[in-house]
Chain A
Amino acid sequence: MKNFLRLTAFFAFILFLILPTLVWGGLKLASSDITKSDYIEQTENRKPAVMPEKFSLKTFPSDFEAYYNDRLPFRTNIILVKNDFFDAVEKPYNEVIQPFLINLFHPAEDDENDSHVDVESPQNNFDENTPGYCNHNNVALETVEATYENMGYTLYECTICGLRYKGDIVGKLIDDTYMPPRVFNDLVIEGRFNWLFYSGNNSVGYYKGTNVLTNQQMDEWIVSMNALKKICDEKGIKLQFMIMPNKEQVYPEYMPSYTVTATEKRVPVLVDYISRNSDIDIIYPLEELENAKNHWQVYYKHDTHWNAAGAFIGLQSLYRSLGMETTDLNTLKITERNKEDGDLIKIGGLSEASYNIDTGYNIEYKPDVAMVAEDKSVNEAVFATSESANEENFVMVGDSFRKQMLPFLKKDFSSCSVFHKDMIENEKCRQAIKQADTLVISTVERNDSSILEVIGQCIQILSGY
């Protein structure tokens, strides 16, 4: 019996080592469609690794290993099962153990400076469908003047259970209990109420205000920007810089509990410094987005980007800076739509099933302005012409945040060229810059220093190189 068991263990071990490969190989021979997987492209936003055309002894091991890892037998199935399994395993921890540990190590502080003001209970704002609503039958709520991160909104607090509600937003809830920051796949921060945030590019440093530039560094920015402005002025090009806030700056209430002691943050300080010490036009539409978020969700919950509403608000700030007419979003027809496949879910290697569907918007904008042509022959670039009354040549060199602004830009300018900064050396993009009436260089906050590289490239292009 013992030998039989040993023999069984032996075969089980050997089969475990070779069977996945044999079965996978068999399936592939039977039908390549069975094993064909778009998983990598769909979820990891890249193509499977390929062997380089030129053989190199030095890089062959790493190339081959990357190639093999992307084609592991049953890779997709294993990753999906593992994600679902770990989600299930983590559920009791998140729901039971973590709250217990938080109460133990981070007990809620008593509010010593209670300033109770009797106000009419904002009953109309909440009902039993409000997520997390405590259902204490609309017992009088008291305002709490102390706010989270001095955001200026009104908080209400249930007098029975102490649960707090943000009074200005219908159905929104604020939870200021301690929540430990947890990061998935080294890149995605788990926030409150299923919000996700990106932690790459030192986003946490921007959030905490630990990477503020020195005056000397900001002066270098001004020198660089002025060099481009000089050339633009000579060529009659209106130059504008735009920095889009990181999501966590707009929605800090959904971030977990980071210790933030700095009173100033990098980009607001930089924009303020540049505005005070030069003629450069630069905007950072944080305030506009903070106001707008009371009425619309302006960033996606599970994606790093702003949605159509956020992009529209940011764009109005840009137009204001350019001296153009602006439009109130309230006057437009907006319909909510579902958004799935947030990039943060993929980047974090998370299970989509654990995250509810996100909110996006369809905004009907200037339906009377017809599009004439749209050239998408260059990767990550759009060259559009429309029947807009504004005959300026508008050029925007940006990052992925530009995409949500594009539908509006196309209708606001008869000639509109919007492309990713990495395509700037493409001939069509270079020509567009040379022919621009308005040149906007934009970037998201966490990549702010990429502006300097784009400036250098624009200078070269406009100088004829």
Chain B
Amino acid sequence: MLFSSMLFLWVFLPFVIITNFVLEMLPYKNPKVKYSVKNGFLLLSSLVFYAWGGVYYLLIMISSILLNFFGGKLIDKYSQNPGLKKLSLIATVFLNLAILFFFKYFNMLGIIIESVFYPLENSESVFNSMINMQGSGALDWPEIVLPIGISFFTFQSMSYVIDVYRRDVRVQNNLFDFALYVSLFPQLIAGPIVKYKDVNKQLRNRKEGLNLFVSGQKRFCYGLGKKVLIANTFGKIADEIWALETSETGTALVWFGVIAYTIQIYYDFSGYSDMAIGIGRMLGFKFKENFDYPYTSLSVQEFWRRWHISLSTWFKEYVYIPLGGNRKGKGRTLLNLSIVFILTGIWHGANFTFIWWGIYYGIILIIERLFLGKLLEKNPIKLINRIYTLLAVIIGWVYFRSGTILQANELLRQMFVYRESDYSVLSYMNMFVLVSLVFAVLFSGFVQRPLKELYQKNKNNTVVMIVDYLFQMLIMVVSVFLLVSNTYNPFIYFQF
């Protein structure tokens, strides 16, 4: 089920909010009972939410929940036996990664083996075939469908067992509470990746006060607007341009498509995070922020402190720091950085484009660490920093979005070597796109950051509050209008 679907907005969400509220208001003799009932209801709702995308995937998530729950208990059981404790951790993490690898990378492995041992007849080289994911189909392995959100809940679960191992948290003995932590529907499908230590207390002690609810509703409204009004608009443009043959595209069109994708991915992802955080607050949970206006960054290092924060902190805590971080000399630091970013690329998808995207950022971050970062810091003309950072990020997105490295390279070539296009940028423009473009650029942080202090001082001002709430409702109304209109689905078959 998607947050931006009418079934979610007009059926699932109000049902969950109202029932949660009613369960909160019931008289309980024991507060423990209250949380058991509320958590039970939220768990059931979350399982239904996930099963809606595929009933069979629910079994995979439940298996992951059981694996990590009992893994945590095993680690705790052997807390006095370092050897067995470590073995339990390794086994649990290994099984988590095995499940993730199977569902996410099995098909990719098949293509790699085919490229090497059963190459296509007309393939130029094994290496080219492999990196462009050109499998011959010789192995005829079954297509493994990726369960939605598996990367998120696997990493989320692993953070729990690692924290139990490190004794950062106490083991959770209530299976249902643990299941709720893993499967809570606001952040299940697209994050943020919530660490157990950030929410464990909230499982049994949270308050759904009016302030928290209203702040949650605000985040949800703005998140919905980001997704429906901006991300979907530019996503459609990016999809259409990327679907063209590279023989039909040209410099202006590719730039437009890449900018459209740059806007889409930020507003889609951050919009979803806003909705997740917002729903969490409406249900009494406080999740950490996942985006902090990354496109306003002055360096790529800063970009990665502001983009998908929950993932970068996960890798920092559970990969970079255990590898030694920056405490073992410059060479080792750079190596650790490289490993983290290769893994980041791999995490994002089963394609060499993602791996190359990770390596690309690793290289840039190494360069910034070596000398460029200091230059950027000292540079008084910050506009240059912004242009450099945005350019680096936009180039990265070309690889991220493209189906193959070949396609990405060709699009990049067209971006920087002038070529006429068969289609004009104007083909994709209309008033709605134009207005969305203006909003998308301004409100990617260039308005919010300078006005943050001013807003904080005045957010409780009556006029500001009224304008804010009216704007939220306007966003909700327009978003719903668009979502309802998207159900328009003419049947054209018998016409022809």
Contacts and interface: CB of A to CB of B under 8 A. Distances in A.
Interface in B1-47: 1, 5-7, 9-11, 13-14, 17-18
A178 to B, nearest CB: 7
Given A10-B210, A14-B17, A400-B496, A347 B426 contact: no
Nearest to A39: B488
A78 B481 contact: yes
Contact of B469 (A9, A57, A90, A102): A9
Contact of B476 (A16, A78, A200, A447): A16
Interface string B408-426: 0000000000000011111
Contacts of B481: 78, 81-82, 85
Contact of A9 (B55, B214, B428, B485): B214
A257 B490 CA distance: 27
Given A12-B469, A65-B5, A2 B462 contact: yes
Contacts of A10: 210, 213-214, 217
Interface stretch (B76-84, B181-189, B269-277, B430-438): B430-438
A44 B490 contact: yes
B494 interface: yes
Interface string A84-95: 011001101100
B484 A93 contact: no
Given A2-B462, A93-B431, A399-B496, A57 B488 contact: no
A89 B431 contact: yes
Nearest to A20: B10
B465 interface: yes
A45 interface: yes
Nearest to A12: B473
Contact of B427 (A7, A64, A182): A182
B495 A45 contact: yes
B52 to A, nearest CB: 5
Interface in A7-55: 7-10, 12-14, 16-18, 20-21, 43-46
A343 interface: yes
Contacts of B134: none
Nearest to B245: A210
Nearest to A6: B214
A86 B214 contact: no
Nearest to B426: A180
Given A72-B487, A105-B424, A17 B496 contact: no
A204 B108 CA distance: 34
Interface string B435-477: 0000000000000000000000000101001100100110011
Given A2-B460, A9-B214, A57 B55 contact: yes
Contacts of B5: 65
B145 interface: no
A351 to B, nearest CB: 12
Residue of B5, B11, B490 with most chain A CB atoms under a 10 A cut-off: B490
B459 to A, nearest CB: 10
A161 interface: no
Contacts of A75: 484, 487
Nearest to B468: A9
A244 to B, nearest CB: 11
B387 interface: no
A402 B423 CA distance: 34
A341 B222 CA distance: 38
A185 B484 CA distance: 14
A45 B13 CA distance: 32
B53 interface: yes
A78 B426 contact: no
B434 A93 contact: yes
A58 interface: yes
A17 B472 CA distance: 13
Interface size class of A (residues with CB under 8 A): 35 or more
A101 B485 contact: no
A346 interface: yes
Nearest to B465: A5
Given A57-B55, A180-B426, A44 B491 contact: yes
A425 to B, nearest CB: 16
Contacts of B434: 93, 97
A102 B485 contact: no
Contacts of B465: 2, 5-6
A447 B496 contact: yes
B239 to A, nearest CB: 10
A70 interface: yes
Given A5-B466, A420-B494, A102 B426 contact: yes
Nearest to A17: B14
Interface string A179-219: 01111010100000000000011000000000000000000
B489 interface: yes
Given A16-B476, A90-B431, A346-B490, A79 B469 contact: no
A3 interface: yes
Given A5-B466, A61-B52, A180-B427, A187 B492 contact: yes
Contacts of A61: 1, 51-53, 55
Contacts of A7: 210
A58 B52 CA distance: 9
B10 A73 contact: yes
Given A5-B469, A18-B14, A68-B7, A78 B423 contact: no
B211 interface: yes
A252 interface: no
A1 interface: yes
B485 A78 contact: yes
Contacts of A447: 496
A81 B473 CA distance: 17
B6 A400 contact: no
Nearest to A44: B490
A43 B485 CA distance: 13
A406 interface: no
Nearest to A64: B7
Given A6-B214, A12-B473, A97 B431 contact: yes
Contacts of B221: 13
13 contacts: A6-B210, A20-B10, A45-B495, A75-B487, A86-B432, A90-B430, A93-B434, A105-B426, A181-B424, A182-B427, A185-B488, A380-B494, A420-B494
The 6 lowest CB-CB distance pairs between A and B, nearest first, are A46-B491, A180-B426, A93-B431, A17-B14, A69-B487, A180-B427
